[in-house]
Amino acid sequence: MTSDTWGQVRGELLKSIGKNNFSAWIEPITFDALENRTARFFVPTNFIGSWVSQNFGDLILRHLVSAGVGVDRIEFKVDPAAASRADNRNSEPASARADTTAAAAAAPVVEARPARTAALNPAYKFDSFVVGKPNELAHAAARRVAEGEQVSFNPLFLYGGVGLGKTHLMHAIAWELSTRRPDMDILYLSAEQFMYRFVRALREQDTIGFKEMFRSVDVLMVDDVQFIAGKNSTQEEFFHTFNALVEMGKQIVISGDRAPVDMEDLDNRIASRLQCGLVVDLHPTDYELRLGILQQKVDLQRLRTPDLTIAPGVLEFIAHKLSTNVRVLEGAMTRLFAFADLIGSPITMDLTQECLSDILRATDRKVTIDEIMKKTCEHYNIRQSDMIGPSRARNIARPRQMAMYLCKKLTTRSLPEIGRKFGKRDHTTILHGVRRIEELMATDSQIAEDAELLRRMLEA
């Protein structure tokens, strides 16, 4: 094979994987030699090598074969010259790096077998993560872990609802660590992939290889751990992997959709292990954070279309109207930009309302029980756990009744449904709470004022 053939294959790869992927992953690799039906490539780092081999290995192989190259496998080797350049550089690397497995990193070899590891998204880095009150703690903890200096919080457990940035932060940690500590083996994968690999190891009777691989990493990151809750043999294995790594002083980062104690089917031993580290949650976004994120999207879009114009008030309107899930915000902006581009007009309020009418309608301020509980807790300065807890102390019970009242008035939920949310209380308890507040509102102006204020805040 000649470099010409490789050039031709690169052209094909560009077409099949797109520009972003191409510049992130294929651009950095160079063809070395073809020997014994093995094509060898140089990669700047192990990280790139294993990522390319796992994610594009098959594709590269196929393209080589269709270009007439007599090749059965490909191998990636770190280019010593490039590696030393990587060590010396202190600015952002020109190419992105991602997820690796220890086994693959040691000898990035690919054969015709589908890759199973998730990729790191080059867009998910710290510099594109907008920090606000709801996520500042999670962000600070992630930053600390990403310094890679010493294992400070182990494990770091990040949790929060869908689309609040858990995966983004985890990828950001992996990117940052891989830049600062190229020596480290960082393994990022979803809990689902962990299970898949475990099951495969069982089937292939290679649990020893599985254990060795997972125990040899320096940093293990497992996303969406709730996935393995209730899957008992996988949980068991996960628990042992976890302990082994903690004992060796290796960093672990885990994410989940809720607090460990609230994951019903999660092995208690795992839950208590998670509690031993640092547990931080990503709160639902607030107005300021949403506005910040929207502004960032506009800034990014301006790099592509410099004369993008947005009427005053449009971003504020969207930040106000749309839900807490950042993915929804992103979808809205993507659509808005495409629409404005298509019809070649500035983004006005009218255009926004037309273009996003379905999303706006769907999220048209449906207040949720969770929101009501949260706002009520904030207002009375009590903990959310008090809402569902047993305390009958008046300073807890009264706010709880207020929240029950608001749930009845502002949502369409039934009393039993509300009861379940309030720590499995009976529907008669809810009814009692609602009536109590109604009575008090007539006689106690403070209560009436609180109710009115909360209602306005929730309906805003």
For the CB of residue 254, give the shortest distance to ligand ADP in the complex, in Å: 12
**C-alpha dihedral (300, 127, 246, 215), degrees to nearest 10:** 60
Long-range contacts for 235-239 (Cβ within 8 Å, ≥24 apart)?
235/266, 235/267, 235/270, 236/267, 237/198, 237/207, 237/210, 238/191, 238/194, 238/270, 239/267, 239/269, 239/270, 239/273
Q: Report d(CA 256, CA 266) in Å as an integer.
A: 11
Q: Report d(CA 454, CA 376) in Å as an integer.
A: 7
Toward ligand ADP, which CB reaches closer, 254 or 293?
293
User: 242 with 262: CB under 8 angstroms?
Assistant: no
Q: Report d(CA 435, CA 288) in Å as an integer.
A: 36
Choose among 287, 295, 3, 264: nearest CA to 130. 295
For the CB of residue 118, give the shortest distance to Mg ion in the complex, in Å: 10
Q: Per CB under 6 A, does 122 bind ligand ADP?
A: no
For the CB of residue 334, give the shortest distance to ligand ADP in the complex, in Å: 10
Interface pick for ligand ADP out of 51, 129, 214, 238 (rule CB under 6 A): 129
Among positions 141-170, residues that touch Mg ion (CB under 5 A) are 166-167
- Binding window for ligand ADP (CB under 6 A); candidates: 14-22, 91-99, 326-334, 442-450: 326-334
Q: Per CB under 5 A, does 190 bind Mg ion?
A: no
163 interacts with, out of ligand ADP, Mg ion, none, CB within 5 to 8 A per kind: ligand ADP
Q: Report d(CA 373, CA 377) in Å as an integer.
A: 6
Toward Mg ion, which CB reaches closer, 116 or 320?
116
What is the phi-psi region of residue 146: left when phi exceeds 0, alpha when psi lies from -120 to 50, beta otherwise? alpha
- Residue of minimal CB distance from ligand ADP? 165
Q: Per CB under 6 A, does 135 bind ligand ADP?
A: yes
Toward ligand ADP, which CB reaches closer, 139 or 398?
139
Q: Per CB under 6 A, does 326 bind ligand ADP?
A: yes
Site string for ligand ADP, 283-302 (x = CB under 6 A): ----------x---------
User: 210 with 198: CB under 8 angstroms?
Assistant: yes
For the CB of residue 141, give the shortest distance to ligand ADP in the complex, in Å: 14
For the CB of residue 449, give the shortest distance to ligand ADP in the complex, in Å: 34
Task: Indicate the helix (H) or strand (E) that contains 288.
Answer: helix 287-304
Task: Indicate the helix (H) or strand (E) that contains 158.
Answer: strand 156-160
State the residue for tokens 């929060």.
160
For the CB of residue 209, give the shortest distance to ligand ADP in the complex, in Å: 30
Q: Which residues contact 342 (CB under 8 A, 6 or more apart)?
A: none
User: 58 with 113: CB under 8 angstroms?
Assistant: yes
What are the φ and ψ backbone dihedral angles of 44, each rounded to 5 degrees? -70, -30
> HEC string of 31-42?
EEEEECCEEEEE
For the CB of residue 330, give the shortest distance to ligand ADP in the complex, in Å: 5
Site string for Mg ion, 334-363 (x = CB under 5 A): ------------------------------
Q: Report d(CA 281, CA 311) in Å as an integer.
A: 35
Q: Per CB under 6 A, does 277 bind ligand ADP?
A: no
For the CB of residue 43, give the shortest distance to ligand ADP in the complex, in Å: 27
Toward Mg ion, which CB reaches closer, 8 or 325?
325
For the CB of residue 164, give the shortest distance to ligand ADP in the complex, in Å: 4
Q: Report d(CA 361, CA 331) in Å as an integer.
A: 15
Q: Per CB under 5 A, does 226 bind Mg ion?
A: no
398 interacts with, out of Mg ion, ligand ADP, none, CB within 5 to 8 A per kind: none
How buried is 114 (Cβ within 10 angstroms: 0-12 exposed, 13-18 middle, 19+ buried)? exposed
Site string for ligand ADP, 158-177 (x = CB under 6 A): --x-xxxxxxx---------
Binding-residue total with Mg ion (CB under 5 A): 2
User: 135 with 290: CB under 8 angstroms?
Assistant: no
- Binding window for ligand ADP (CB under 6 A); candidates: 9-17, 85-93, 156-164, 374-382: 156-164
Which residues make up the interface to Mg ion (CB under 5 A)? 166-167
Which residues make up the interface to ligand ADP (CB under 6 A)? 124, 128-130, 135, 160, 162-168, 293, 326-327, 330
